[in-house]
């Protein structure tokens, strides 16, 4: 196992900056996900950790040591890629034994470790068969087992589950977490899938356009996003983010929403919007599960009226799309009480609502 310190790292390709001033502290044995949209710089970051790409500025330390001059093959890093990168012309056994043979491990020890890993990955019955005969799901098991068997100090996984079918992907998410605890290895996991990141990682680094947006535990990021990008990116369904102009009328601060709706601001969310007097355009954020129907629960909760435009069944729950002028709110209809086309009152709890600067995207009212 190793700790990793990424210190003010920048990577340029000519005039294009792929990663800009990135700093992360990854503790020994942690599972860290690099999460972001395609092209945001997460794979480039992983490649710099591996030594595949050179660093333009900054440093990357393994257990406090700079390995920038150390060859990739001497860094003892395990890789698992989206396209598996296994030797299809060799047997499953030879794929698993290859790394151990390169390290000149004793043959009897190799056989013991190969069979133990095959058993762990549930591919023992395939050991003597060519890797080319494996299913897609079995190929990914083999790829993970082949990397894990050499006991690397760091495990790098680049979208390893994206080619798997949905059912097996869910199974492998759980399996990867178990394996990580068993092996105790430091893992960096690249993905654009927030469900994978939230379910697997001890910490998540959210990256956009080469810049770190937020770094923290999944729950901290979900409950307290630092900015509008993170708030919009994390959560399924996504957070309601309503943009508008701040205006005070008769001592009542309102968010005048683009499209005609108005949100009268009260309580904590009002204080958050007014915490910076220079902000004129804001984004009001609230998670779908925090919107409620029925009787008002607090004097500071914000009452809205809208038309039930869409009802969408997702497993045991229904998602309601509520139209207020030209603005759409998403909420959960937990009691299956709403009807299409009806006008309903719903409430936005002030204490669970968030305020963002629409221009900069930063969270308001948070120290």
| Tens-place pLDDT, residues 78-111 | 888 766 678 889 999 999 999 899 888 999 999 9
Residues 14-24 have a mean pLDDT of 97
CATH number (domain holding residue 255): 2.40.50.140
Total domain count for the chain?
2
What are 332-341's pLDDT values in tens digits? Answer: 998 889 999 9
Domain shared by 152 and 62, yes or no: yes
Q: What is the value of pTM for the model shown?
A: 0.88
Residue 363 falls inside a structural domain: no
Tell the residue number behind the tokens 């759409």, with chain if given: 328
Per-residue b or e along 251-277, where b marks 16 or more CB atoms closer than 10 Å to that residue's CB: eebbbbbeeebbbebbbbbbebbbeee
In the listed set 215, 232, 249, which residue is the last one of a domain according to the structure? 232
Residue 366 falls inside a structural domain: no
Domain shared by 82 and 119, yes or no: yes
Predicted pLDDT at 257: 94
How far is residue 93's CA from residue 114's CA, in Å, rounded to a whole number?
A: 7
Domain shared by 182 and 283, yes or no: no
Domain shared by 74 and 146, yes or no: yes
Highest-scoring range by mean pLDDT, 127-131, 147-151, 152-156: 127-131
Domain shared by 245 and 193, yes or no: no
Residue 309 falls inside a structural domain: yes
In the listed set 185, 209, 232, which residue is the last one of a domain according to the structure? 232
Residue 362 falls inside a structural domain: no
Provide the residue count of the chain: 367
What are 158-207's pLDDT values in tens digits? Answer: 888 877 777 778 888 888 888 888 878 899 999 999 988 998 999 999 99
Predicted pLDDT at 164: 74
CATH number (domain holding residue 57): 3.40.50.300
Domain shared by 140 and 184, yes or no: yes
Predicted pLDDT at 260: 82
Give the strand pairing for 4-13 and 16-26: antiparallel
Residue 367 falls inside a structural domain: no
In the listed set 210, 232, 254, which residue is the last one of a domain according to the structure? 232
Name which of 29-33, 69-73, 254-258, 290-294 the model is least confident about. 69-73
How far is residue 330's CA from residue 211's CA, in Å, rounded to a whole number?
A: 29
Mean pLDDT, all residues of the chain:
91
CA 226 to chain CA mean position, Å:
15
What are 209-263's pLDDT values in tens digits? Answer: 999 999 999 999 999 999 999 999 999 899 999 999 999 988 899 999 987 899 9
Predicted pLDDT at 84: 64
Predicted pLDDT at 116: 93
How far is residue 218's CA from residue 354's CA, in Å, rounded to a whole number?
A: 18
Residue 281 falls inside a structural domain: yes
Band of pLDDT at residue 293, cut at 50, 70 and 90: very high
Predicted pLDDT at 1: 66
Residues 312-335 have a mean pLDDT of 93
Band of pLDDT at residue 56, cut at 50, 70 and 90: very high
How far is residue 294's CA from residue 345's CA, in Å, rounded to a whole number?
A: 8
Q: What domain range includes position 159?
A: 4-232
Domain shared by 214 and 315, yes or no: no
Domain shared by 56 and 189, yes or no: yes
More confident residue, 75 or 278: 278
Domain shared by 283 and 219, yes or no: no
Residue 151 falls inside a structural domain: yes
Q: Cβ contacts of residue 35 below 8 Å, gap of 6+?
A: 42, 191, 192, 194, 197, 204, 205, 206, 207, 233
Residue 37 CA: distances (Å) to CA of 47, 192, 210, 268, 363: 17, 5, 10, 32, 21
What are 100-139's pLDDT values in tens digits? Answer: 998 889 999 999 999 999 998 889 999 999 999 998 888 8
Residue 327 · residue 259 · CB < 8 Å: yes
Residue 254 · residue 248 · CB < 8 Å: yes
Share of the chain above pLDDT 70, in %: 99
Domain shared by 82 and 228, yes or no: yes
Domain shared by 303 and 221, yes or no: no
Residue 365 falls inside a structural domain: no
How far is residue 291's CA from residue 293's CA, in Å, rounded to a whole number?
A: 7
Residue 161 · residue 173 · CB < 8 Å: yes
Domain shared by 243 and 219, yes or no: no
Name which of 6-20, 162-176, 247-261, 303-317 the model is least confident about. 162-176
């Amino acid at each position: 196992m190793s700790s990793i310190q990424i210190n003010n790292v920048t990577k340029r390709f000519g005039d294009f900056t792929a990663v800009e001033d990135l700093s992360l502290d990854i503790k020994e044995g942690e599972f860290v996900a690099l999460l972001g949209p395609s092209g945001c710089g997460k794979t480039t970051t992983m490649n710099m950790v591996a030594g595949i790409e050179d660093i333009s500025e900054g440093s990357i330390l393994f257990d406090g040591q700079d390995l920038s001059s150390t060859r990739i093959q001497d860094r003892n890093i395990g890789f698992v890629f989206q396209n598996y990168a296994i030797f299809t012309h060799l047997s499953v056994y030879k794929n698993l034994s290859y790394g151990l043979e390169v390290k000149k491990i004793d043959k009897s020890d190799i056989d013991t470790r190969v069979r133990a890993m095959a058993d762990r990955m549930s591919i023992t019955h395939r050991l003597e068969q060519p890797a080319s005969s494996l299913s897609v799901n079995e190929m990914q098991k083999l790829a993970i087992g082949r990397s894990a068997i050499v006991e690397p100090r760091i495990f790098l996984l680049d979208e390893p589950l994206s080619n798997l079918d949905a059912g097996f992907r869910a199974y492998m998410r759980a399996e990867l977490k178990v394996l990580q605890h068993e092996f105790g290895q430091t893992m960096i996991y690249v993905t654009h899938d927030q469900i994978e990141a939230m379910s697997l990682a001890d910490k998540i680094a959210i990256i956009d356009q080469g810049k770190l947006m937020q770094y923290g535990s999944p729950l901290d990021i979900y409950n307290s996003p630092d900015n509008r990008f993170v708030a919009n990116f994390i959560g399924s369904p996504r957070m309601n983010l309503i943009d508008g102009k701040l205006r005070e009328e008769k001592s009542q601060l309102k968010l005048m929403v683009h499209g005609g709706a108005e949100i009268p601001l009260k309580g904590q969310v009002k204080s958050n919007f007014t915490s910076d007097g220079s902000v004129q355009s804001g984004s009001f954020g609230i998670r779908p599960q925090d919107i409620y129907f029925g009787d008002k629960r607090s004097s500071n909760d914000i009452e809205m009226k809208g038309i039930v435009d869409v009802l969408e069944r997702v497993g045991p729950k229904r998602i309601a799309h509520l139209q207020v002028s030209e603005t759409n709110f998403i909420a959960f209809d937990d009691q299956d009480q709403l009807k299409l086309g009806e006008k309903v009152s719903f409430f936005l709890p002030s204490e669970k609502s968030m305020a963002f600067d629409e221009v900069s995207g930063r969270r308001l009212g948070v120290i």
